[in-house]
Structure 1
Amino acid sequence: MNIVRSALLVVVVGGLVALSGCTPSSEAATTPSPTPSAEVEAPASEEPVATPSPAPLDPGDMSTWVAGSAGIGPVERGASWGAVQAQLAGMTVETMCPSAVSFTADASPTVYVGLEADGDTVRQVWVAGDATDAKSPATAAGVGLGATLAELQAAYPGIVESVIPYPADTTAYAVADADGTWLVFSLRDDVVTQIGASALQFPPKELCG
């Protein structure tokens, strides 16, 4: 008899345990409050990297001169030679003939200017020298006197050799501008010895004559 009662108690207790697991909690489930999202800070704007500006043109310092098809430094094709000469402070100017003048300065190459028949309008301009001339003009691509042929070709991909229509111990390479004028490089032993701004794609045989 005691065994039967014990069995009944186990059944009853077991049933209560099972029911208690299914009975909903008397407390309402609490909806978790949303976690505030962390504010994403906008990345700090980077300071723009300043591009170094080229040195301003100084007519008395050839190292500030840029060579291009339009001219070299202050000596531009089509300009008045008289007006240009007035800017060349400290330069030694020499009249070679009615159609040509030259000028130079200490530690600088020599610049040759070809003039039109009026004796004043600049027709072409050339700078001649080598890498030992510390104050030397250079092109916008950085090619100056003393540059090698490899450096010239790297600065101006696709540049081709010009045909010089007279016997010469130099070679010439030229870059055409949109208006049909030329930035010309004359080389000896694959080294740039002259840079010119001209209507022709090769250096002149002579400026006088």
Structure 2
Amino acid sequence: MSMLGFPLLLIPLAIYNIIALLMRDVSFVEPLLSLTLISGTEWSVTLSDVLLALGVVLLLLEVVKGSRPGGKYLTDHLLSLIVFGGATAEFLLLPRFGTSTYFLLTLLALVDFLSGIALRARRGTAKPAAATRSASRQVESAPAARIDPDPVNVGAAAESMSPNRAVPKGMPAHVAPAGPSPEVAYSGLQPAEGTPPPQNPPHQS
């Protein structure tokens, strides 16, 4: 099992189990060492203090690990739940585990399980919101489609579609008629309707 899926709160609980079951002569309340503070007070550090401090540090690592993208999966939450359930059973059923130190370690295991569930639920609600925001930004930043007609192509198409610009077959393009033939608008050159044609004058000899 990789460290990413290993419940780190199992480490202080396992140490407590080893000491409580195999090392009965070791006391959790006996001072391991004494430190003199700046104030002059002598601080006695016990085995219980060391286990609790280790549990708090490992809980911080579990929260950091669970806050990473894709950090915790369903199996990790299941393992955290198993660790919490086993610690609770030992605290309630075994006499050697009915201490305040083990109770606080069990409470840290519960916080680890609940924090993993909360972080997973928050990631699940944040992903759709982020996808919606990115889609809206893409729609706003996309330029509107614009069609710019090419004046050369438009002029050529209009010229080719004009009936007056049709080029006869076999005639080169440079001698094609430039436009329609002019129409004579002078009516005096045309005979009116009902007017007899002019008679030819007799030839004089």
TM-score bracket, shorter-length normalisation: under 0.3
Task: Point out the structure with the larger strand share.
Answer: 1
What TM-score, normalized to structure 2? Answer: 0.20
Task: Point out the structure with the larger helix share.
Answer: 2
